Chains A and B, each alone.
Chain A
Amino acid sequence: MGSWRLYAVALQWWLSEVFRVLTPGTSRTRLNPLLVFAAACAGSITLLLAPPAALVAALVALTASTAAVKGVREVLSAYVLLAPFIGAYSIAALIMQVVLGVIDPYTIAVNSARIMSIALLAALLMSMLSTADLVSFVGRYSPGAALGIALAIKSLQVVALTLMRLYEVYSINLGNIGSGLKRKLILTTSLARAVTYLSIVNALEVSEALYTRYSVLTERLRSWR
Chain B
Amino acid sequence: MTRRDDPTSPPKENWVHAALERHEKALTLYALRLLGELEAARDVVQETFLRLCKEHERDVEPDLAAWLFTVCRNLAFDVRRKERRMSTLSDEKAGGLASEARTPGESAERSDDLAHVLRSLAGLPAKQQEALRLKFQHGLSYKEIGRVMDESLGNVGWLIHVALKGLREEVAAEDVARDVKGAEA
The answer to whether A and B interact is no
Residues of B with Cβ closer than 8 Å to A? none
